[in-house]
Amino acid sequence: MLDALVEALKGSLSLVLPDIVLLATVAVVFFGAPFLTDERGRSEAGLRHRWSWLALAAVGFSGWLWYQSTPVEVGDGPFRLDGLAWFVRGLSLATLVVLLLVNWNQVPDGASAESIGSLLAIGAGVNLIAASNDLVYLFLALELVSIPTYLFLFLPRRDAAAQEATTKYFLLSAFSSGLVLFGMSYVFGVVGSTNLQVIGQALAAGQNGPLPMLLPVAAILLIAGLGFRITAVPFHFYAPDVFQGAGTSGAAMLSFVPKVAGFVALIRLLIPSGWMGPDAQTLANLTGPTVWWLAVITMFVGNLLAILQTDVRRLLAFSSIAHAGYMLVGFQIGRETHAGIDGIDALLFYLTVYGAMSLGAFAALIATSDESKRYETIDDLGGLSRTRPAVALLMTLFLFSMMGLPPTAGFLAKLNLFFAAWSQGTESGRWLAIFLAVNAAIAAWYYLRIIAAMYLREPAHAENRHQEPAASVAMACCALVVLGLFFAPDWLWRAISVVS
C-alpha cells in the first residue's frame, strides 16, 4: 500500500517537475537574501543582476525540462500534463524571461531577491493552475499567483501611490478568492469530489436530466471571482488605479499574467476536456448569457473609458480591460463553432499575441525613462520619434498590433476571434463578431493619439543618453513575436492544436 502511494506521488511530481525547479529557486533566493543584505536593507551594488541571472538560469533549465516533456493522458491524480498544461507552461516560461528583463533595473539591490523570487513564484503558480486536476490544488495555485503579486507590486516603489495600489489589489484579490472558494465548495457539495475529472464525468452523466440549482450559482460565483483576475467589467475597477500607482514592471506583469491565470482557470473549471466530447454538459452551459454580456460590456467600457485618459498607464489599463472583453468572445464561443476556427483555440492565440504586444509596450516605457524621469502622460511621450526613434518605432508596432492592423500578429488574432464568433452559426455569435469589430475601430482612436504625440509633436524632454539594455532586449523580443506571428503563425497553431 505504501509503495503504491509513493509511486503515485512520484508519478504526480514528474508532471510538474519544471515548476518544482522554479519553486526550489524561489526557496534558494528567499533563504539566501538575508545573508547578503544588512539590517537596513542595504546590499552590494549589482546584486539584483546576479539574482536575475540565477532566475534566468532556473527558467532556462525549467524550459529545457518542458521541451523534453510531452502531453500524456489525464489520470486521476492531483496533476495532469495534457495539451493545455503543456501549452500554458511554455507560454508562462517565455513570459517569465521577458518579465525578468523588464524588471532588471526596476528594484533596489536590497529588495531584488524578494522581487525576483516573487516573480518566479507567480510563474510557477500559473503553471500549476494549468496542471491542476483537483479543485484544492487549483485554488492553492491561484493563491500562489496572488500572494507573491502583493509583494512584487510594492517593492519597486515604496511611496504612497505604491502602497495604495498594493492595498487595493490585496483587498479585492482576497475578496475574489473568497468568491472562487465559495463556488468550488458548491461544486464539491453537489458532486462529492474535488477531482476535476470526476466532476466532469458527473456533469456528463447528468446531461439528460435536470442538474441541481446549486451548480448554476457555483458557475456564476466562479466567473465573478475569476473575472477579477482577467479585469472583466464590473470586476475591473481596481485596474486603472493599480496600474498607475505600481511600478512599470508591476503594471506590465498585471497586464498579462493574471489574464493567463484567470482564463486558464475558467477553461479548466467551465469548459470540458477533449475526452468528454463537445456535447457534454458543463458548468459553462449553465450560465446562460452571462459570459456573452460580460464580453460585450467589457469591450465597450474598456475602450470608451480609455478615450478619456491622459495618463499612459491608466490608458493601458483600460486597454487591458477591453482586450479581456475580446478574449471573452473566444471563451463564450468555446468548442461550439460548426465551421472554421475553434473559440478556445482563437482565445489562446489571442492571449499569446496580447502578451507580446502588452509586455512590449511596457518595456518601451521603461526603455524611454531615465533615472530621474518616469514617463507618465501622453504629453511626456511627445516627440519621442526624434529623441528615441527606435523605441518610438517599436512602440508604434505594438500599438498597431493592439489596434489589429497588418502586418502585425494583432490583426490575425482579432480576425481569428471574429471568424470564430461568426462561424458559430448563431445570431448571438454574429452580434459578438460585430461588436468586436466596432470596438476595434473605437480603440484605434486612443492608440493613434499616442502615435501622433510621438511623431507630430515637439520633444517634451531633452534627449537623454540613459539606456536600459535589458528592457530593450525584452522590447526587441516582443517585436519579433508580433511581426513573426503575422508572417509565420503556423508554429503557434501547431502548439495550440495540442490543446484540442
pLDDT for residue 373:
59
Q: CA 20: distance to chain centroid?
A: 21
C-alpha closest to that of 94 among 294, 408, 351, 316: 351
- Contact call for residues 272 and 282 (beta carbons, < 8 A): yes
Long-range contacts of 146-151 (CB under 8 A, 24+ apart): 146/173, 146/177, 148/117, 148/118, 148/119, 148/121, 148/122, 149/118, 149/122, 149/173, 149/253, 149/254, 149/258, 151/114, 151/115, 151/118
pLDDT for residue 2:
54
SS (H, E, C) the chain: CHHHHHHHHHHHHHCCHHHHHHHHHHHHHHHHHHHCECCCCCECCCHHHHHHHHHHHHHHHHHHHHHHCCCCCCCCCCECCCHHHHHHHHHHHHHHHHHHHHCCCCCCHHHHHHHHHHHHHHHHHHHHHHHECEHHHHHHHHHHHHHHHHHHHHCCCCCHHHHHHHHHHHHHHHHHHHHHHHHHHHHHHHHCCCEHHHHHHHHHHCCCCCCCCHHHHHHHHHHHHHHHHHCCCCCCCCHHHHHHHCCHHHHHHHHHHHHHHHHHHHHHHHCCCHHHCCCCCCHHHHCCCHHHHHHHHHHHHHHHHHCCCCEHHHHHHHHHHHHHHHHHHHHHHCCCCCCCCCHHHHHHHHHHHHHHHHHHHHHHHHHHCCCCCCCCECHHHCCHHHHCHHHHHHHHHHHHHHHCCCCCHHHHHHHHHHHHHHCCCCHHHHHHHHHHHHHHHHHHHHHHHHHHHHHHCCCCCCCCCCCCHHHHHHHHHHHHHHHHHHHCCHHHHHHHHCCC
pTM of the entire predicted model: 0.92
> Is the peptide bond prior to 234 cis by the omega test (within 30 degrees of 0)?
yes
Residues 438, 441, 445, 448, Cα dihedral to 10°: 160
Radius of gyration of the chain (CA): 22
- Contact call for residues 486 and 412 (beta carbons, < 8 A): yes
Q: Residue 400 corresponds to which cell in the numbers above?
A: 498597431
pLDDT for residue 374:
64
d(CA 370, CA 441): 34
C-alpha closest to that of 456 among 379, 367, 374: 379
d(CA 430, CA 421): 6
d(CA 360, CA 101): 11
Mind listing the pLDDT tens digit of every residue in the chain (500 residues)?
Answer: 455 555 656 667 778 889 999 999 999 998 887 777 766 666 677 788 888 899 999 999 999 999 988 877 766 778 888 889 999 999 999 999 999 999 888 887 777 888 899 999 999 999 999 999 889 999 999 999 999 998 888 877 666 777 888 888 888 888 899 999 999 999 888 888 888 888 887 777 665 455 677 888 888 999 999 999 999 988 888 888 888 888 888 899 999 999 999 999 999 988 865 434 445 567 777 777 888 999 999 999 999 999 999 889 999 999 999 999 999 999 988 876 655 678 889 999 999 999 999 999 999 998 887 654 567 788 888 888 888 889 999 999 999 999 999 999 999 999 999 998 888 878 888 999 999 999 999 999 999 999 999 998 887 666 665 678 888 999 999 999 999 999 999 999 988 888 76
d(CA 82, CA 206): 25
- Contact call for residues 20 and 125 (beta carbons, < 8 A): no
d(CA 173, CA 337): 34
